[in-house]
Structure formats: structure tokens, C-alpha cells
Structure 1
Amino acid sequence: MDKLEFICRQLSKAENKIFEHYVITRIWHLLNDTDIKLITQQYVVRPEGRALTDMYFPQLNIHIEIDEGHHKKQVLSDKIREADIINVTGHEVLRVDVTKSLEVINSIVDNIVNKLKVAKKMKSDFKPWDFEAEQNPLTYISRGYIDLKDDVSFKTMVDAANCFGHSYKPNAIWKGVVKHPREDGKYIWFPKLYKNEGWDNSISNDENIITEVCLDKSKESTYPELKISGTKHIVFARVKSSLGDTMYRFKGEYEVVSDAIKERNKRVLKRVSTRVKTYNNVILSDTLAVPSLKTWNKK
């Protein structure tokens, strides 16, 4: 996928919502700036649950919400939802009321486009959107870290693991977790944070706590070294991207705080850092991968 396809697929997500589609496409085409990244139906964590905003510009920290007729019946809940988004992210939320006349809607859109242009101009650390670089491990290796605020996702586990000193080939396959090649007692973990094939995994609304429950007794004793209290995991959760593709999204570094060996089938991990150090790739032996991880793939 290239930048053009990404943009087209983002815009097409609203094509069945005619008013939303009109506003989103008008904003994008009037903005006319492919250095600015857009995301439609942006996932936002709220204190109690989650939300999807209609349009989001991550470099500018601005969300656009399009209010159709039914929003007139939920003014209070919309205000609470907007306050949650602002409080959690620190971002600005701009609204377009599509129950107004075409002339008024266009005027609101014009004002939003001007605000976006000014926001870009005023942002001293603005970096043009580089679609290819944002999913390339070399980007983060050369930077020296991965930070949660950058919303980093990779297409494969290999790409993520190679940010920490591994030199896996593109077709390398393993099942769910590998040892960190540079930091002892630390692992790179790719969990499914939902109920799946013998596991019931979940993440708290603020994403600070991961709970893992084994539903299959035959797997309770699998890889005990990964489950001891104090063991740390750099987590890339298996997720669906805004376009429906499988991705591995960075969630932070977590530490086991509830020992699965003592509790038999359950462990709890707490986030201890939102930034992790990256390393140049080196040639490593196969012994660094956790061997025979068939059952770990279920997690």
C-alpha cells in the first residue's frame, strides 16, 4: 500500500454516511496538503470505554466530529464524550453540524481548514507525513526509541522485533514472544488482548493493566520464565488497523505484578514505561528465540 491508496481507503470508510462523507472529503481536498496525515474513525481510549472520532490529524492533535440529526437528542452525552477525549489526549475537538444549510456547513468547513493550516504553521516541530518511514523499523532504530505518543504499529512481528537488535529475515516465523537480545530478563510480546483459543486476555480502559487468563489447563505451565513477578515485556498488541489490516501496535513496557506460577492460570501486568529504547540490528543466534512456541501463539 502506498500513500495514495491509504488516503483513498481512509476517505472511503465514510462513503455510506453521506453527510459525513461530504464534510470529510471537503476538508481533505480544501486542505490540499499531503504532508498532513489523516485518519478517519480514530480510536480513542476514554476513562469509561472507547470512542471513534470521525476525522483525526495526528501531527496537529486535532479531531473533527460531524454531528448529524440524532446528535440533537444526545447533547449532554456528546459533551461528556468530547470532554473525555480532551482530558485523556489533550487534543482539540472541532465540530461540524450537518443539520445546518449547505452554506453554513461550507463556512464551518472553511474555518476548520484555516485552523488546520494555522496549526501546522505554528507547530515548530512539525514533521511532514512520511508514509513509508512510519512503519519501517529503521526509522525507530535511528531515532533510538519508540514512544507511545507516536502511535507506532508494524505490519509484522519481525519488523517490531528487529527494532531491538534482532536481525530476523522477513519470512521468519515464531509464535508470539521472543527474548530481548540486549536487555536481560525482558521479552518482546505480541498478545491478542481479547478472548481467543484457550486464553482470555484483556487490557484496562486506560491501557495500564493487562490481565491474562489461561482457560486451557494443559497450557498453564507453558514457559514459566515469562510469568514470574518482575519479568518485563515490551508489548505489541495484535490489532486491526483503521483500514482493517492486522497490525502490531506498541502499547508500552509492562511488568508482571501478579505471578501466574502462584496463581496457576492468571497473571497481571502493569505498564511501567511508555517509551522503550531501540538498538541497531546485530547477527544473533537462533537460541535467542523462545523455542517451540506453538502454544504461546494462542495468546
Structure 2
Amino acid sequence: MRQQKAPIDYQLDYMEHLFFCIKHKKTESYVIHRIWDKLDDMRIRFVVQQKVELPNGRYALADLYLPQIGIFVEINEPFHAFQKKEDDYRNENIIKLTQNDQFIISCGNPNKDGEWLSLNEIHQQIDQCVAFIKERINQIQDLKPWDMSKWLSVEYHKQKGVFKAEDNDQLRTIDDICAVFNTKPKYHGYLRVGTASVPNKEKLEIWYPNIHNRSGWSNHLSEDQDTFEEFNEKDEIKRKKHVDTCIEDNKLRITFFRHKDELGMEFYKFIGIFALDIEESKKQNKCIWRRKSREYKL
């Protein structure tokens, strides 16, 4: 029997990925590290490099965003005059477009172009920023804690009793997905099969596709996530055989799509129940799956 190692705690994994993503931005990394340590509140989610579209069609990347409390934090290094104009334009529009508040930590001397402030002066601004964040937290009576470690657990989904696409329901591993359904992944030797059975439901199976599999198999998901194309790119015989098998079985698929978030962390996201479009599958010689439902009750 294969022993599945317990994954690293999600919030620890998330923060490790977050700081790894900004390691090349030394000043931002230092300031955000200090904010995280001084705040010391695991209920609050940190998001770095949050994309915001500006009126000129370009995108701004906010240094730090706290989505639960609606605060952007900008960390400005010493700049020259032309950079100040760009920063002012970006900051004004981030506030206007998102209706969120912004706290700016300036690491440069406002009276001397391109000159750095002392570390102590920067620390004072960080302390003010943390106090501002804490005050906002205290003002929110119904704050929803950032608790993805719980939301990604098998126990949480069993207790919830339903998967919903609009709830952004996710799990971290295939073993966890199967455990929710009280089943186990199927194997051919040491190779894991792409689907798993649902106990006592012959016409249902669990599917956990990704974009590119090994051995030439591919899965293409439409932009609206309503259609999956599943086929072998290299072997026409395997491709035809798979289409014929799926038509004969004609099962509904409870689908968890493997994807990466903005930090590069991998998850299996529930996207719905898919049924095979038999006529289109015959016509294209590939399995065409259509979404029939956005939720599944356990």
C-alpha cells in the first residue's frame, strides 16, 4: 500500500512561495517581511504583485494587498522626478478603481532626489502601517479569517457536503479528493489512472485532469470552463480506442482541474460535472466533455 505523506501546512507553504516570488525585490521583501512579523495575525492574507488595470490600458502591480480589509501597501524606493509622476498616477488610480485604501511607505528622502532614508526612519513608517492595518481589522466585525488550511482539508469538504464551482472549492492532492468520496485512486502497476470510481454510483467517476499529461495525452479547457477536449496527440490508435471506451461507458465526470495560482502553488479545483458529447466526440475523434452542473452533493 502506498503511504501518502501529509503535505506541508498550506499557510506556511503559501508564505514561503510569496517571499520566494519577491526575493529579487530586496526592499519590498524586507518591508513586507517586517509587516508580516509585526502584524503577527494569521487571519490576514497577504497578496503581492496584485494586478490592477489602469485607465491608460496598462497594468499596475501593487506591492502588497490585504483583500479582506481592503488595503494596498506601496513601498517606494528613492526615485527621480519622472518616476514620482508615474507613481502618483498609479497610486491615485489604484485607489479610485478599487475603492480601497492605500498606505505608502517611502524609503527615499522627499527633500533629496534619489537619497535613502535611514533604516530607523523606514521602521517608523512600517510601525505606522501595522498600526493602520490593526485599526482596520478592529473595525471589521464580520472579518472572515484566512483559513485555507481548513478549507483545503478532507474533513471540511465532508462536513460541507457539497462541492460548488462558485465557492472555489479546492483540494491539494488526488488522494485528498478520493478520500472525500471514501475511495482511492486507481493504479495500473505504478501508473495512476486518470479517473477514480465513486462508491455505489456506477455512472459516476472522479476526474482530475491537467493541461498536459505524459505519453501524449492532452486536455484543453475552454475559457468559460464549460468544455473539455481530451485526446492523445501522438497515437491515433490510442486516441480512437479511448473515444470508443468513453462512449461505451458514458459516465458523468466529477471534475477537479489541476491548476497553479499566482504564486505557482498547485491545487485541484472543482469545476463541475461533465458529460460526454457523443456526437461531437465521434465527429472530432476526441472526447468532448460538456459541463452539466456547477455543483455536486456528496
Contact 1:209–1:271 (8 Å) recurs in 2: no
Deviation of the 1:226 alpha carbon: 4.0
Contact 1:96–1:105 (8 Å) recurs in 2: no
Give the corresponding residue for 1:27: 35
Alignment map for 1:48-67 (pairs within 5 Å): 55=64, 57=66
Deviates further, 152-161 or 71-80: 71-80
Question: Deviations along 1:64-101, whole A, 9 cap, x unmatched?
Answer: 676787897699999999999x6xxxx95857586865
Alignment map for 1:124-139 (pairs within 5 Å): 124=142, 126-127=144-145, 129=147, 131=149, 133-139=150-156
Deviation of the 1:23 alpha carbon: 3.7
Give the corresponding residue for 2:206: 188
Q: Structure 1 residues 253, 51: closer, same or farther in 2, change over 3 A?
A: farther
Q: Which has the higher contact order (CA 8 A, sep 6+)?
A: 1
* Matched position secondary structure for 2:33: helix
Alignment map for 1:94-113 (pairs within 5 Å): 101=109, 107=125, 110-111=128-129
Deviation of the 1:159 alpha carbon: 0.6
* Matched position secondary structure for 1:162: helix
Q: Paired residue for 1:114, among 124, 127, 132? A: 132
Q: Structure 1 residues 58, 211: closer, same or farther in 2, change over 3 A?
A: farther
Identity rate, percent: 20
The two structures have a TM-score, normalised by structure 2, of: 0.62
Question: Deviations along 1:170-208, whole A, 9 cap, x unmatched?
Answer: 999731112333656333211112475423433344544
Deviation of the 1:264 alpha carbon: 0.8
Amino acid at match of 1:142: Q
Give the corresponding residue for 1:250: 269
Q: RMSD across aligned C-alpha pairs, in angstroms?
A: 4.9
Structure 2 distance, partners of 1:112, 1:190, is 41
Matched, 1:222 2:242: yes
Matched, 1:17 2:25: yes
Which structure carries more helix by proportion? 2
Give the corresponding residue for 1:177: 195
Matched, 1:262 2:280: no
Q: Structure 1 residues 257, 109: closer, same or farther in 2, change over 3 A?
A: farther
Q: Paired residue for 1:233, among 253, 264, 270? A: 253
Amino acid at match of 1:168: K
Contact 1:252–1:276 (8 Å) recurs in 2: no
Structure 2 distance, partners of 1:249, 1:94, is 33
Q: Structure 1 residues 194, 129: closer, same or farther in 2, change over 3 A?
A: same
Deviation of the 1:257 alpha carbon: 6.5
Structure 2 distance, partners of 1:126, 1:41, is 22
Structure 2 distance, partners of 1:238, 1:52, is 26
Gaps of 5+ in 1: 45-49, 280-299
Contact 1:230–1:255 (8 Å) recurs in 2: no
The two structures have a TM-score, normalised by structure 1, of: 0.62
Structure 2 distance, partners of 1:257, 1:62, is 45
Deviation of the 1:119 alpha carbon: 4.7
